[in-house]
Amino acid sequence: MLTIDNLKFGYSRKHRPVIDRFDWQVAPGEICGLLGPNGSGKSTLLYLIAGLLTPASGVIDYKGMTPRQRQVEFLNDVFIVPEEFSLPSVGLESYINVNSRFYPRFSARDLKTHLEIFGLTEDVHLGQLSMGQKKKVFMSFALACNTSLLLMDEPTNGLDIPGKRAFRQAVVREMSDERSIIISTHQVHDVERILDHVTIIEPGSGVLLDASMAEVSAGLRFSYTDSRELIESALLAVAAPGGANIVRMGSDDLPETEVNLETLFELAQQRPDVIASIFAKSKKRD
Amino acid sequence: MRPDNNAAASNFMLLLKKYVVENKNRILFGAAALIGVMALLGFLTGMLTTYSGKGIYIGFSMILAVMGIAGASQMFGEMKARQGRISTLMAPATVTAKFMVRWCVWVVGSGIVLLVAFEVGDLMRVLSSYIFKHPSTPLQWDSFRTSVLYTIPMCGMIYLAVQSFFVLGAILWPKLSFIKTIVALWVMQTVTGVLATVGLMLAEDSLLYVNIPALNLDGDWIYWTGMGFMALVCAVNWGLAWLRLKEDDVI
């Protein structure tokens, strides 16, 4: 569905490119988590995929279309929820009326359901909502557009605790085999249970990890322990009150565990060699 | 692939509706402010004088032209911030549709509002003059009658040509567009003036200087050449603005 080949992009020729020699593929039917430290180019990558930036070189192919050309067919089929966005000061019904017609697969029923999940109704005025409420409305609309590709940058920032739960519920509800959702976030605990795939990048676009959650579950074991012996033998131990969150190599005698994305992120940052040796698809660029 | 004209027209109308609905407050407030200012100005003029000559209309026209040009500087106002740029660039429509929607509102639409504001201002002038000054002879209220008909198309074209620079400036510099465009025009005018002066001085001293006999051009020729030149300026500036929008990125 989405293929990126040898992508390069920089904001200034004087400075090092934010993204360099970046290859990536996103398959339909996946919720993909895009993780990386500040300045690693996550938002930039989303903008490039949305056609909002012009690559210095390389190819982005989405269903045979080049995003930067911003063809109507492309814009009909891709929706981006940026970290910060603006909504006009109009009633939600007016907003839906003038915007929904651009998206051929928009579903009013889906929108109503998502608004209900987020605890909102259609008779609100966008100018009178808090930032968190606006985000809920905008994400409800984005999901209801049923575009094949949905890009979300820090979608849970500014959401209250019930809102984060509702977000997960709405995203899972809207997933289908034809659709892909890419979520760029630092709030890993908000999304770790809904991801199908995880990609961890570093500044300069080295891909530290690009694997499905099933592969991560099979390759690594995550647990909390206060055993000194286990902590010392772990691939990585992250101090936690009374003990540590540890990662161990996956093996048949250890049952699979839930993936702890925060610990996985630390492992990818501190032990990229270990990650590269476990996950064949992962690659570390020079 | 052959473009689907019906789909394109439908898409344009949807985008126009979206733009007007989402910018309703800005558009209505701008139009109301324009008409309100002209009404007040007309009222004060009528209160202070019974003079009803062309000077009034020239003054009114100049004020309206400045307001219309300032309005055109807001053509891409929503693109000042990154959020607005994303919203504009990601709207599922062609670049041409996105440009034409704004052109329709800020060039055609504002032109109509300017004419209305002119008439309202003139009407208020005549009314307040009768109320406060009690003129013995009827006041003129014929701004668009035959006496000035000949100058209106040329004035309109000059207005559109000047405004087109501000349309281009609006997409080049969404922030402080009006001021930046004025500065850019001033710089362009100064550079052109200096170059022309230097060029003439050099030509006078050079062997290549040829004494061209004075051309006997009639009024119609000058008029239509001027109109054509203004139309060309408009087309170039609007074309460049379209191109800039096409090439625009989020940052």
For residues A182 and A34, the answer to whether their CB atoms sit within 8 Å is yes
Q: Is the pLDDT of residue A30 over 50?
A: yes
Residue B25, amino acid: N
Rounded Cα distance between A82 and A84, Å, is 5
The alpha-carbon radius of gyration of chain A (Å, integer) is 20
Diameter over CA atoms, chain B: 70
Q: Is the pLDDT of residue B210 over 70?
A: no
**pLDDT, position B2:** 47
Q: Which residue has the tokens 């903008």?
A: A47
Structure tokens, B15:
């985008």
CATH superfamily, with its number, for domain A2-88+147-204:
P-loop containing nucleotide triphosphate hydrolases (3.40.50.300)
Give the nearest chain B residue to A95 (CA atoms): B22
Quick: pLDDT tens for A72-111: 999 999 999 999 999 999 999 999 999 999 999 999 999 9
Q: Is the pLDDT of residue B213 over 80?
A: no
Query: What would the mean pLDDT of B92-99 be, rounded to a whole number?
Result: 94
Q: Which domain holds residue B60?
A: 5-247
**pLDDT, position A62:** 96
The alpha-carbon radius of gyration of chain B (Å, integer) is 22
Which strands sit side by side in the sheet containing A220-225, from one edge to the other?
Answer: A220-225, A243-249, A236-240
**pLDDT, position B139:** 63
Task: Please state which of the ranges A127-131, A219-223, B220-224 shows the lowest mean pLDDT.
Answer: B220-224
Rounded Cα distance between A224 and A41, Å, is 31
Range B174-182, long-range pairs (CB < 8 A, 24+ positions): B174/B76, B174/B77, B174/B79, B174/B80, B175/B80, B177/B73, B177/B74, B177/B76, B177/B77, B178/B69, B178/B70, B178/B73, B181/B73
Q: Which residues of B touch A50 (CB under 8 A)?
A: 90
Cβ distance of A102 and B93 shorter than 8 Å? yes
Rounded Cα distance between A215 and A248, Å, is 14
| Backbone torsions φ then ψ of A181, nearest 5 degrees | -125, 125
Cβ distance of A53 and B82 shorter than 8 Å? no
ipTM (interface pTM): 0.89
Q: Is the pLDDT of residue B87 over 70?
A: yes
Task: Please state which of the ranges A12-16, A203-207, B112-116, B126-130 shows the lowest mean pLDDT.
Answer: A203-207
Q: Residue A43: which residues within 8 A CB-CB, separation 6 or more?
A: A82, A83, A153, A184
**pLDDT, position A284:** 42
With b meaning 16 or more CB within 10 Å and e meaning fewer, what string describes A172-210?
A: eebbeeebbbbbbbebbebbbebbbbbbbbbbbbbbbbb
Cβ distance of B83 and A52 shorter than 8 Å? no
Quick: pLDDT tens for A36-45: 999 899 999 9
Domains in chain A: boundaries: 2-88+147-204, 212-278
Interface test with A, best of B5, B14, B29, B90 (most A CBs within 10 A): B90
User: Helix (H, G, I), strand (E, B), or coil: what is residue A82?
Assistant: coil
Q: Which residue has the tokens 């359901």?
A: A113
Which candidate from A47, A50, A102 shows the least CB-CB separation from B14?
A: A102
**pLDDT, position A286:** 38
Q: Is residue B17 less than 8 Å (CB to CB) from chain A?
A: yes
Query: What would the mean pLDDT of B39-55 be, rounded to a whole number?
Result: 83
For residues A182 and A48, the answer to whether their CB atoms sit within 8 Å is no
Quick: pLDDT tens for B137-195: 666 665 545 455 567 788 889 999 999 999 999 999 988 999 999 999 999 999 999 99
Going by C-alpha positions, the residue among A203, A207, A185, A204 that lies closest to residue A195 is A185
Cβ distance of A72 and B94 shorter than 8 Å? yes
**pLDDT, position B190:** 95
pTM for the whole structure: 0.88
Which candidate from B89, B93, B251 shows the least CB-CB separation from A72?
A: B93
Rounded Cα distance between A109 and A123, Å, is 15
Mean pLDDT, chain B, as a whole number?
86
Going by C-alpha positions, the residue among B152, B21, B234, B237 that lies closest to residue A99 is B21
Q: Is the pLDDT of residue A280 over 80?
A: no
**pLDDT, position A282:** 45
Q: Is residue B25 less than 8 Å (CB to CB) from chain A?
A: yes
Q: Is residue B54 less than 8 Å (CB to CB) from chain A?
A: no
When divided into structural domains, chain B yields a total of 1
Q: Is the pLDDT of residue B1 over 50?
A: no
Q: Which residues of A touch B86 (CB under 8 A)?
A: 52, 80, 82, 85
Q: Is the pLDDT of residue A285 over 60?
A: no
Which candidate from A70, A79, A88 shows the least CB-CB separation from B22?
A: A88
CB atoms within 10 A of CB B48: 13
Q: Is the pLDDT of residue B114 over 50?
A: yes
Cβ distance of B18 and A99 shorter than 8 Å? yes
3-state secondary structure A99-133: HHHHCCCCCHHHHHHHHHHCCCCCCCEHHHCCHHH
Cβ distance of B90 and A52 shorter than 8 Å? yes
Query: What would the mean pLDDT of B46-56 be, rounded to a whole number?
Result: 77
Going by C-alpha positions, the residue among A168, A265, A183, A162 that lies closest to residue A216 is A265
Structure tokens, B218:
């009639």
